[in-house]
């Protein structure tokens, strides 16, 4: 277990201001058994694709030694940037990673070993004509409650917004940093539905600029999800409330116009 006095809410990385091609944002919670192997796999793949990049890992209050493994890896992988914070949840973790990103594009991928690094190329190859490229997970090996949760979100998205996406909340996605990060500024910071809100926003405003790419889903080789059925039920009610609020935001928020213009101008 992580020492209770471990210095959370700190940032550990080399300070640079240079823009890069790609920022890989990876939230993590209690994955000490796989963090090292997964990060080395991703780092090698990005090197082979000859990109300038950074990997931003948000350690969301892990208690199993994940933070210490990350600090060790930071000395081995120069492109790795590590954020240690108290546990705030997945959505807040990725948003903090987004706020630190310097890449022209952002790839978000959970650091749990469920996606092959090589599959990133499938998303990258579709970026030219799209603002948001999201994976469509095939052959899903999730637990039954998680499959029901994902299916329910898909149905809610169609019912409330008329958006026809197969996997709108998927945590494996590539997007241009501006202006989608700008759009997040009009969303309450405590929201849990960041991924879903971004998918809906682009689908509603510029449907021609979003694409789903079929990606195989890897079964977790080590560990197990920390999310319980009770958590999923509560999360479902929170998502419903946030989606109804999002519908109102997209119709009435005055800041929406300034956030939307860069997409329509193709910036």
- Nearest-CA neighbor of 193 among 214, 176, 170? 170
Any domain includes 1: no
Any domain includes 221: yes
Any domain includes 105: yes
| pLDDT for the residue 142 | 64
Cβ-based neighbour number of residue 43 at 10 Å = 20
Domain of 228, in residue numbers: 10-264
Mean pLDDT by runs of 10 across the 267 residues of the chain is 51 66 96 95 95 96 94 95 94 94 95 90 92 85 73 91 92 89 86 94 91 80 59 85 92 56 46
CATH number reported for the structural domain that contains residue 112 in this entry: 3.90.550.10
Any domain includes 2: no
pTM for the structure as a whole? 0.86
> Which strand ranges, in their side-by-side order, compose the sheet holding 80-85?
10-12, 80-85, 53-60, 20-28, 103-109, 172-176, 132-138, 210-216
Any domain includes 48: yes
| pLDDT for the residue 130 | 92
Number of domains making up the chain? 1
| pLDDT for the residue 26 | 97
Any domain includes 70: yes
Any domain includes 4: no
Any domain includes 210: yes
């Amino acid at each position: 277990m992580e020492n209770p006095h471990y210095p959370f809410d700190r940032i550990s990385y080399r300070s640079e201001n240079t823009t890069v091609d790609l920022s890989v944002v990876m939230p993590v919670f209690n994955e000490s058994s796989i963090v090292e192997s997964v990060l080395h796999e991703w780092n090698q793949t990005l090197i082979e694709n000859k990109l300038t990049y950074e990997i931003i890992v948000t350690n969301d209050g892990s208690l199993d030694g994940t933070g210490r493994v990350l600090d060790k890896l930071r000395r081995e992988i120069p492109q790795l940037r590590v954020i240690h914070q108290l546990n705030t949840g997945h959505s807040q973790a990725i948003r903090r990673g987004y706020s630190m990103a310097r890449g022209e594009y952002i790839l978000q991928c959970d650091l749990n070993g469920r996606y092959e690094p090589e599959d990133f190329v499938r998303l990258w190859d579709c970026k030219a004509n799209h603002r948001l490229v999201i994976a469509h997970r095939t052959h899903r090996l999730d637990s039954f409650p998680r499959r029901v949760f994902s299916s329910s979100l898909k149905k809610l998205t169609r019912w409330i917004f008329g958006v026809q996406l197969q996997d709108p909340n998927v945590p494996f996605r590539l997007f241009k940093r501006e202006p989608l990060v700008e759009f997040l500024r009009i969303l309450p910071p405590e929201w849990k539905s960041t991924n879903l809100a971004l998918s809906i926003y682009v689908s509603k405003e510029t449907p021609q600029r979003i694409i789903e790419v079929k990606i195989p889903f890897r079964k977790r080789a080590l560990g197990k999800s920390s999310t319980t059925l009770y958590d999923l039920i509560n999360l479902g009610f929170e998502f419903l409330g946030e989606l109804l609020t999002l519908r109102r935001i997209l119709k009435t928020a005055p800041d929406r116009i300034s956030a939307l213009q860069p997409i329509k101008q193709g910036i």
